[in-house]
Chains A and B, each alone.
Chain A
Amino acid sequence: VPAHQTLSVHVRERLRPLRPSRYVPVSAAAFFLVGSTTLFFCFTCPWLSERFSVAIPIYNGIIFLFVLANFCMATFMDPGIFPRAEEDEDKEDDFRAPLYKTVEIRGIQVRMKWCSTCRFYRPPRCSHCSVCDNCVEDFDHHCPWVNNCIGRRNYRYFFLFLLSLTAHIMAVFGFGLLFILYHRQNIDRLHAIVTLAVMCVAGLFFIPVAGLTGFHIVLVARGRTTNEQVTGKFRGGVNPFTNGCWKNVSHVLCSSQAPRYLGRRKCAQSVSLQPPFLRPQLTEAQLAAKILDNGIQGDLHRSKSSLEMMESQSCDAEPPPPPKPELRYPGITRGNTEECSLLNKAPPTPTMYKYRPTYSPGKNHTALTHAYANQRREVGREGGGGGGGIPGYSLGGRSYPSFSDPTVLSAVASRSSSSTHTSAGTVHVSEATTTSASFKSLANQTPPPHHPSRNGSLSYDSLLAGGDEFDKAVGVSSVAPDVSGGRPCTPAAGGGYSSPFLSSQQREAEMQSQSTQSPHHHHRSSHHHHPFLHHSSSSTSSSPPPPPERERLLGEPHLPAAPAGQTSAPPPPHHHHHHHHHHHHSHHHHHHSSSSSSTSRPPRFAAPHAGPHHAYPYRTRSTDTPLGSSSTTHPPRSPHPPPLGKSLSYSSAAAAEMQYRLVRKASASAGANAAGVGGGGGGGMGGGGIQVPK
């Protein structure tokens, strides 16, 4: 078994390529740290301890130990990685579920974005790290010097590492200087030379480290993460996550160590039931289904006398296909006509949570699609079944030639529908979701294994990076609606999101009208691709045409807000550039490029003022959408700037063109303007779509 397959379950399926370049900064940091300090202890300290006091090396030793301990903890500790959500959690059909969910935190609207890799809506302050390919709780940044994400669990160690490293550098430099001052006469001795070298290294590292330390002290005091600071989320001033300076500091330093989410031993819950207990009633269809053997799932042995709950994973990993029993078990069906009649009915899908055929190599895909089709067929039939959808069964003296494979029963029973829950379920979801028009489906098409790197090697990168700027700018303008500068319209009622072309109401109406058209359109075009679209890891960029819901993003006038936001946006990134160039250069590359490309913005945005038909190429920022263009919808009423994290979308020109075609088809009023823009902007459509003029 290859080494990588001995990793945890969550990593096993993702065979990450070995990238030795990742280890260069951390190796260099470790080398300099340990090497310089060792030289200091060997060459400088002996004389110092004799001449002054033995406390000097002891003090330095303690600080160095502290530095090392924090360095190791920051490097090796799990930053708070969220495990991937299981299939059953995502009960929304991808093509109807929005990309963002808004939640109110202390009166401030915060957007939670759907993470297509991890399959859940990212909690507030969570971000997906593209280097580690994980969603991290309270994501701060990815630190190349420790080769790890800094998140909730290890921020404290990182912060203490910075503090102690600053103290250590100052001590080494200071005592080295003391040594040199006393050895001015024989400075050509080896000890003096080594001390000088160590002092140089210390002096060299002191400036960036101290700068970073100061930066993080400010962050801790303000209760912000690096991510939030750099993306300018709370520039408007209101941070919903702060509890005051003192509480923020004590939360970072004194709170109990947050628990690990990954690698937890999942306890198989065993419940013993004593009669009398309520028994769900199985319908006839379900009893019939018990007879069917799917043969796909393995044999799960159950003890005779105890009831064991099967772990949800094994249970709902995949729906078994309803086989044709007549073909498979001719002996049985011939023998017993009573059971024959039952065999034809297949149990319907539980609509409370749909089975998604999970993509697993070696599985019978046709069987899965068959199952899915079958389930769809049966959904309607169970409409009246059982109050609250509780399946029932009766013991009533009936005997079946039961192929009582427990997996059959479990799988089959789990397909029993409670379709009365459907409406409740969808209602529940819809009230939790925004009026945003972009959907998870767009985000869920994960990129092919060697899709263009996220480091900006695509030509779209600088353009798309500009999109970050816009979102920031949008955030600025939406948080502070009174920002002046060329915005000819009034903020929308709920929080300052405005468009120069359409009022929010108009835009919403337009989106509504589009929405009525597009699902229709979508179902026609991609119905048979449905099972494949649910395979999270198997999509390619040439997969079925992107759903026309994407065009809804067109309603988002990010860019017009840019001129106003631009004046304020460039300086802070530049400012942070100063602090971070040393530390985050690889990580924030796209931010830098965004600030550099911001100068190219204005010409593009002159156009919007000219009229409502203009292309918005930079709207999305999901790394998970190779077909680009989906993710950044901005709900009209949310004033809160979106979380930027690490995501930029990179689309192929072909996909963009296809999307453009769909846009044209779906929107009646596209007309020549869209055509003109789209034809010329094949490459520029990298991130988004065209705004459909009203």
Chain B
Amino acid sequence: MAETHSLQDMRQQAAITAKVFIQRDYSSGTMCQFQTKFPSELENRIDKQQFEETVRALNNMYAEAEKLGSQSYIEGCLACLTAYTVFLCMETHYEKVLKKIAKYIQEQNDKIYAPRGLLLTDPIERGLRVVSYNFVSIQTEQIEHFSVLFFLIRAHSR
């Protein structure tokens, strides 16, 4: 496979070097809450306050999603009345909050964590079981005049 690189090409790669997992906090039942205990692996990267704030915000949002409020009640009634066909057109309350959470995580990553080499993942990808902080390292390398030889070697090795 040929890739063209100009000389002195700067490429930056981001790669995940390690992960910290924050587990669920089941002390109040099966409600979706995450532990706010500060993991020691993050000690050098972010401060405790920041971490707790993020996790608390997530917890609040999940609590809001699971809340038995008027919105969910109306949704349920509507679904019953329309023989659940309303689910084809409308987004459920939980899904709406999940979207909000995804946006929040993205924003937190952009503003706070990415500059520190961390990446917060959305727990929905893992079934709302864990939140993970990925340690990301950024490497920049220069591709120089060896690139031609590089192509040959690569072609050979494939």
Q: A-side interface residues toward B, CB under 8 Å?
A: 65-66, 68-69, 73, 82-83, 85-86, 88-89, 91, 103-106, 110, 120, 123-125, 137-138, 157, 160, 240-241, 243, 247, 250-251, 253-259, 261, 264, 266-267, 269, 271-273, 277-280, 282, 290, 293, 295, 299, 301-302, 304, 307-310, 312, 315-316, 328-329, 331-332, 350, 352-353, 387-391, 393, 395, 399-406, 409-411, 413-414, 416, 418, 421, 424-425, 427-428, 432
B137 touches A413 (CB 8 A): yes
Chain B: which residue is nearest A323 at the CB level?
A: B157
How many residues of chain B have a CB within 8 Å of chain A? 84
**Which B residues are in CB contact (< 8 Å) with A267?**
102, 122
**Which A residues are in CB contact (< 8 Å) with B95?**
257, 259
Minimum CB–CB distance for A599 against chain B, Å: 37
| Contacting residues of chain B (96-135) with chain A, CB-CB under 8 angstroms | 98, 102, 106, 109-110, 114-117, 119, 121-122, 124-130, 132, 134-135
A401 touches B146 (CB 8 A): yes
Chain A: which residue is nearest B87 at the CB level?
A: A257
Minimum CB–CB distance for A559 against chain B, Å: 30
A402 touches B142 (CB 8 A): yes
**Which B residues are in CB contact (< 8 Å) with A328?**
157
Whether A88 touches B19, Cβ cut-off 8 Å, given contacts A66-B83, A82-B127, is yes
B153 touches A329 (CB 8 A): yes
B141 touches A414 (CB 8 A): no
A-B contacts, CB under 8 A, total:
245
Bound CA–CA A103/B27 (angstroms): 8
Minimum CB–CB distance for B81 against chain A, Å: 10
Bound CA–CA A83/B126 (angstroms): 7
Counting chain A CB atoms within 10 Å of each CB, which of B1, B137, B153 scores highest?
B137
B125 touches A299 (CB 8 A): no
Counting chain A CB atoms within 10 Å of each CB, which of B9, B18, B45, B98 scores highest?
B18
A256 touches B94 (CB 8 A): yes
**Which B residues are in CB contact (< 8 Å) with A302?**
11, 13
Minimum CB–CB distance for A386 against chain B, Å: 10
B124 touches A264 (CB 8 A): yes
A428 touches B40 (CB 8 A): yes
| Contacting residues of chain B (15-40) with chain A, CB-CB under 8 angstroms | 15-21, 23-24, 26-30, 39-40
A271 touches B109 (CB 8 A): yes
Bound CA–CA A395/B158 (angstroms): 30
**Which A residues are in CB contact (< 8 Å) with B12?**
307
Minimum CB–CB distance for B58 against chain A, Å: 15
B117 touches A280 (CB 8 A): yes
Let me know if B61 is at the binding interface, CB within 8 A. no
Contact of A390 among B19, B24, B117, B146 (CB under 8 A): B117
A255 touches B72 (CB 8 A): yes
Q: 1/0 per residue B134-158: CB within 8 Å of A?
A: 1111111111101001100110011
Minimum CB–CB distance for B31 against chain A, Å: 10
**Which B residues are in CB contact (< 8 Å) with A421?**
18, 41
Bound CA–CA A258/B128 (angstroms): 11
Chain A: which residue is nearest B114 at the CB level?
A: A271
Bound CA–CA A416/B136 (angstroms): 11
Bound CA–CA A137/B66 (angstroms): 15
**Which B residues are in CB contact (< 8 Å) with A390?**
44, 117, 135, 137
Whether A310 touches B109, Cβ cut-off 8 Å, given contacts A120-B129, A273-B138, is no
Let me know if B89 is at the binding interface, CB within 8 A. no
B139 touches A315 (CB 8 A): no
A307 touches B84 (CB 8 A): no
A82 touches B129 (CB 8 A): yes
**Which A residues are in CB contact (< 8 Å) with B24?**
123
A387 touches B137 (CB 8 A): no
Contact of A277 among B27, B114, B130 (CB under 8 A): B114
Whether A290 touches B21, Cβ cut-off 8 Å, given contacts A240-B29, A302-B13, A401-B149, is no
Let me know if B57 is at the binding interface, CB within 8 A. no
Chain B: which residue is nearest A307 at the CB level?
A: B14
Minimum CB–CB distance for A156 against chain B, Å: 8
Q: A261-B128, A304-B9, A432-B23 are in contact. List 6 more A-B contacts (CB 8 A).
A: A82-B129, A83-B126, A123-B129, A256-B92, A409-B13, A428-B39
Counting chain B CB atoms within 10 Å of each CB, which of A256, A304, A332 scores highest?
A256
